[in-house]
Structures are given as structure tokens and as C-alpha cells.
Amino acid sequence: MASGSASGGSTGKKPVVTRFAPSPTGFLHIGGARTALFNWLYARHHGGKYLLRVEDTDRVRSTVEAIDAIFDGLSWLGLEGDEPPVFQFARSQRHAEVAAELLRHGHAYRCYLTTEELAERRQKAQEERRPFRIESEWRDADPSTWPEDKPYVVRMKAPREGESVIEDLVQGTVTVQNSEIDDFVILRSDGTPTYMLAVVVDDNDMGVTHVIRGDDHLNNAFRQLVILRGMDWDIPEYAHVPLIHGADGAKMSKRHGALGVDTYRDELGILPEALFNYLLRLGWGHGDEEIIDRDQAVTWFDIADVGKSPSRFDLAKLQNLNGHYLREADDARLAGLVMHRLEGDADPDLLTRAMPVLKVRAKDLNDLAEGAAFLFAKRPLAMTEKAQGLLTDEARGRLAAIHERLSGESEWNLEGLEANLKAMAEELELGLGKLAQPLRAALTGQTTSPGIFDVLVLLGREESLARIAAQADVPAGSQV
Ligand code: GLU
């Protein structure tokens, strides 16, 4: 196991199995979601399997809430695993067994160096200005000399000569001198397996053929190779995907939108298909195509087309895509999503009927809710300052005339109302705007809204006339 290449096509014939392996120490963030997406797509594209593994071995930082949030985010994006998830901690015994096997075959050893001894050596190396490297005298000790009554850790015997190569599907050929890989710990002194061991054992046992993950794990891959070779297990293909950076090129932080997927859904009102499309385009492309739906993505996706440099997160782009998907979305579905963003009671049928005109300019569900609010507002309508400003004495007089005119409107529909008001504007020798502006203020309490005839139709005769009367220059309810 001195050196060699990690690729070699040994997994080439096997059906593709990918996995997403989040550590449940926080929400499902945007980078994790993209890793999940790439794994899902790769498996779908090759007709393989996509599995989930919860890496919950950090017992202090792993929480049930985080696990729930991750599953919730994945299912919202339609990235559930093809099989029930594997929980890593539950497999500790199996991990320990593999450590025992590595010990038996001489690929690992018990190291009795104490933390103090290691600290001393580290400090000495520092003083002598040479890189510290664990050179344990226990590496070559005969197992018959291993004390039974002293604490120890189990370390891998990493090769010291030669180099290791990974033909990474994204990073290309990556070579590391074996002298740089230390004898890392696989079993702690309390007998618990380390993350490094657990990942390798689980990937093997789950039959993972392709490890697609963030490139912050590239260094780990070389350690993981040492274990794989020790066990004589198949080496998976690796694809280390560059991390996501903020729009300014700096590492992604909260300020850049490194938020939980749930924040995009709940606070920013993003649709899952929009985030799916956005994440897909973040680091992967197919020509100049911007709008790519799920099926198309499955057909086109190839991990080799993922770029090597970090991609930049751009909220405005995500919002634009979201606007596109809002316009494509089913109106009743959108009404359902907007419903709980509205204050008070809202009629789902009316909301659904309003969607075609509301979604024209909306970027997100909040825009839709804001745009829909006037439909369900109670009289007397709250007026924005601008709307109030439009309601001059002259305008109130016109509203009275409009009220009279529309009261006689026999069919309350788009064409009839439009013809009626246009005729009225002509008769009064006024631009339509002079009627539409105060009318909009009276009907919506605002100065922007969907087209005024749409507003009249959506509100219906009774409510429209009542709102106009409330602002017209006559006492409400009296004949005008
Ligand atoms: N649990 C690791 C993480 O959340 C991923 C490990 C892996 O994909 O190998 O970063």
C-alpha cells in the first residue's frame, strides 16, 4: 500500500451509488443542498441510487432539530434518499470491528503516546522550526509488547514513501506525497471510532461508488485511501466540488446568504424549483441555458462539467429565477403558499383567481402576499400616504361620478368595465388615468396594483362600489 492511483475503473461496471452525508450540527445550508443536488442528479442521470447518511457521531453538536431541518429541507427540494437514511453513530460497533481488523492485519497499531508526550514533541518541533509529524515508536512495536492496562489510540500506518494520486472527477489529477500523510487516529482511547474511519466504512458498506462532496474534504480523501487500501476495498470515484463564495468572492457567510434552506423558503418566499435550478447553475452549466427544470437537468448533468473554481452566490439571480418559476406555477398552489403570509382571513378561491395578475411582476411569495393584501382588506381601507395624496376634493368628486356610472353597469366583467370607464373618460374629456388613479387609491389603498379593471373584477361589484363610495364625495351608502 505504498503508493498508487485512486482511480482505475475498478468501480466502472457497478451501478452508480452516491450519497449525501450531512453532519447534523446545524441547518441544511445552501452548500449542503447543492452537494445533495449534485449527488441526486448524478445518480438519476446514471439510473443509480442516491443515499443519505446522517453523520451524527459528534454527540455534543448533533441535534434532533438539525436532523429534522435537514430532512425537511431535502424533502422540500425533492432530494429525499432512495432508501431510509443511515445513521452513522448507530454503526459505531461496525467501525470498531474494522479498526480491529486493520490492527490484526498490521495496517494499524496501538499507539500509547500520551497527549502530554505529543504536546512536548509538537513544541520541540516548533522550537526547532521543523514541521511536526507523528513518529510513534509504537508503529513498529510487536503486538505482543502492547500493554493491556494502559490507554491507547489506534492509528493507521500511513505509507511513508512514494505518493498517492486521486483522479478527481472535478479537480483532475491530485497528487500528495505520502510523507505528508500522518499516522492518523481511527479509534480514540475511549474506543470510539473517528470520523475518518466511519466515513470509509460506511461508504464501503453502503456500496458507494461515487463520493461527491465539498472540496474541503479533499485532504481527507488521501487519509481515507489509506484505510481503503488497508481493507483492500474498492476505491470509489471522487468528485470534490468547490465551495460556494459570496457575490464579493469572499468565503460564504451569513451576510452573503449562507442561510438555511428553510430561510429561503420561509423568509424569502423562494419556490423549491427555483432554488433547485439556481443551485444547479451554481458551478455547473450547460451552454448558456439558465432555465433548466428537473427532467432536463437529469438528462444533461455530468459531474465532469462542474467547474474547478468557486462559484459566487447571487441573490438577485435567484430572485429572477424565482420570478420565472412563479409565473409558471399553478395558481391554486401559489394561493396555498401565499395564504399563511396574509393577515386575517383570505378566500383561497379569490386568491387563486387573482394569481395571474399578481404574479406578473412578483419575485417571491412575499411580493405576491403584499400584492394580494388589498383583496382582503377590511373597510375603511388603510391608505398609504401617496394614495391619500391622490384623493383630492376633485378626485373625490370624480369617484362619486364613477360610482354612479358603475352602479348601472349590468355585467361586471373586464370588457364591460373597460368600455364603460373609457367612454366616461372621453365624455369628461379626461385621460383615463385621471379616473384610474383615484379609483386605484379607493379600491386598494395604494398607488400601485394590478390593472384597474382586473382589480374591479376581482373585488366584485358590491365590494368595489362600497370601497368607491367610502372615498367618494358623498356620504357612503347614499345615492350618488
Ligand atoms: N459529514 C461531512 C460534512 O457534512 C461530509 C463527509 C463526506 O461527505 O464525506 O461535511
Which residue carries 460556494 as its cell? 244
Angle between helix axes 331-339 and 348-358 (nearest 10 degrees) is 110
* pLDDT for 46 beyond 60: yes
Cell reading at 185: 487516529
254 annotated as belonging to a binding site for a ligand: yes
Q: Are 441 and 383 in contact (CB under 8 A)?
A: yes
Beta strands in 207-360 (DSSP E): 210-214, 237-241, 244-245, 311-312
Nearest to 414 by CA among 373, 445, 459, 471: 459
Query: What pLDDT is recorded for position 248?
Result: 78
DSSP symbol at 408 = T
340: cell is: 399563511
Ligand 1 contacts CB of residue 213 (under 6 A): yes
C-alpha cell recorded at residue 455: 382589480
The answer on pLDDT for 8 being more than 50 is no
Q: How confident is the model at residue 255 (pLDDT cuts 50, 70, 90)?
A: low
Identity (one letter) of the amino acid at 243?
L
Percent above pLDDT 70 for the chain: 95
Q: What is the mean pLDDT of residues 451-478?
A: 88
pLDDT at position 252 is: 72
Q: Of all atoms in ligand 1, which is nearest to the CA of residue 55? A: 1
CA 68 to chain centre: 15
Three cell numbers at 94? 461496525
Answer yes or no: is the C-beta of 48 below 6 A from any ligand 1 atom.
no
- Residue 393 C-alpha from the chain's centroid: 52
Largest CA distance in the chain: 109
> Thinking of the domain 4-244, which architecture would CATH place it in?
3-Layer(aba) Sandwich (3.40)
Taking only the tens place, the pLDDT of each residue in 420-430 is 999 999 999 99
- Determine if ligand 1 sits within 6 Å of the CB of residue 199: yes
Q: Residue 251 pLDDT more than 90?
A: no
Q: pLDDT tens digits, residue range 61-120?
A: 999 999 999 999 999 999 999 999 999 999 999 999 999 999 999 999 999 999 999 999
The helix/strand/coil state of 211 is strand
* Complete DSSP assignment for 39-83: HHHHHHHTT-EEEEEE----TTT--HHHHHHHHHHHHHTT---SS
Identify the burial level of 155 via C-beta atoms within 10 angstroms of its C-beta, where 0-12 means exposed, 13-18 middle and 19 or more buried.
buried
Whole-angstrom distance, CA of residue 468 vs CA of residue 401: 10
Split at pLDDT 50, 70, 90, the class of 473 is confident
* Multiple choice CATH, 246-337, 1.10.8.60, 1.10.1160.10, 1.10.10.10, 3.20.20.150: 1.10.1160.10
Say yes or no to pLDDT of 6 above 80.
no
CA distance 58 to 447: 55
Find the range with the poorest average confidence among 143-147, 167-171, 223-227, 242-246: 242-246
Give the pLDDT score at 332. Answer: 98
Tell me the average pLDDT of the chain: 93
277 CA from centroid of ligand 1 (Å): 23
What is the CA(460)–ligand 1 centre distance, in A? 56
Q: Which of 5-19, 208-222, 261-275, 355-369 has the lowest mean pLDDT?
A: 5-19
Distance 374 CA to ligand 1 centre (A): 47
Rg of the chain (C-alpha set): 32
Of the chain, the percentage scoring pLDDT greater than 90 comes to 86
Q: Does the pLDDT value for residue 479 go beyond 90?
A: no
Look at residue 430 and give its three-state secondary structure: coil
Contact at 8 Å (CB) between 467 and 459?
Answer: yes
> Grid coordinates in use for 131?
514541521
Using a 10 angstrom Cβ sphere, with 0-12 exposed, 13-18 middle and 19 or more buried, the burial of residue 39 is buried
Residues 335 and 351 sit within 8 Å (Cβ to Cβ): yes
pLDDT reported for residue 10: 46
Residues sharing a CB contact under 8 Å with residue 370, sequence separation 6 or more, in sequence order: none
Mean pLDDT of 208-220: 97
What pLDDT, on a 0 to 100 scale, did the predictor assign at position 5?
Answer: 47
Angle between helices 393-407 and 432-444 (to 10 degrees): 90
Decide: helix, strand or coil at residue 156. strand
> Strand 153-156 vs strand 108-111: parallel, antiparallel, or unpaired?
antiparallel
Helix/strand/coil for 467: helix
Q: How far is CA 457 from the centre of its chain?
A: 39
Q: Which residues are marked as active site? A: 254
Question: Could you say which of 3.60.130.10, 1.25.60.10, 1.10.10.350, 1.20.140.160 is the CATH number of the domain covering 385-478?
Answer: 1.10.10.350
Domain boundaries, the chain: 4-244, 246-337, 338-376, 385-478
pTM of the model: 0.91
C-alpha cell recorded at residue 363: 419575485
Closest approach atom of ligand 1 to CA 22: 4
- Ligand 1 binding pocket includes 203 (Cβ within 6 Å): no
Query: Span 322-327, mean pLDDT?
Result: 98
> Which region holds residue 427: left if phi is over 0, alpha if psi is between -120 and 50, else beta?
alpha
pLDDT given at position 3 = 44
Cα of 215 vs centre of ligand 1, distance in Å, is 10
Torsion of CA 277, 281, 284, 289, to 10 degrees: 90
| Strand 237-241 relative to strand 210-214, pairing | parallel
The pLDDT score that the predictor gives to residue 257 is 60
What are the contacts of 291-299 at 24+ separation with CB within 8 A? 291/321, 291/324, 294/78, 297/41, 298/41, 298/44, 298/45, 299/45
Average pLDDT over residues 399-427: 95
pLDDT at 474: 62
Centroid of ligand 1 to alpha carbon of 32 (angstroms): 9
At 208 the three-state DSSP class reads coil
pLDDT-derived band at 249 (thresholds 50, 70, 90) equals confident
| Residue 131 Cα to chain centre, angstroms | 40
Task: Give mean pLDDT, residues 22-49.
Answer: 95
CATH topology agreement for domains 4-244 and 385-478: no
pLDDT in tens, 284-294: 999 999 999 99
Alpha carbons within 13 angstroms on the beta-carbon side of residue 423 total 9
Q: Whose CA is nearest to atom 6 of ligand 1?
A: 21
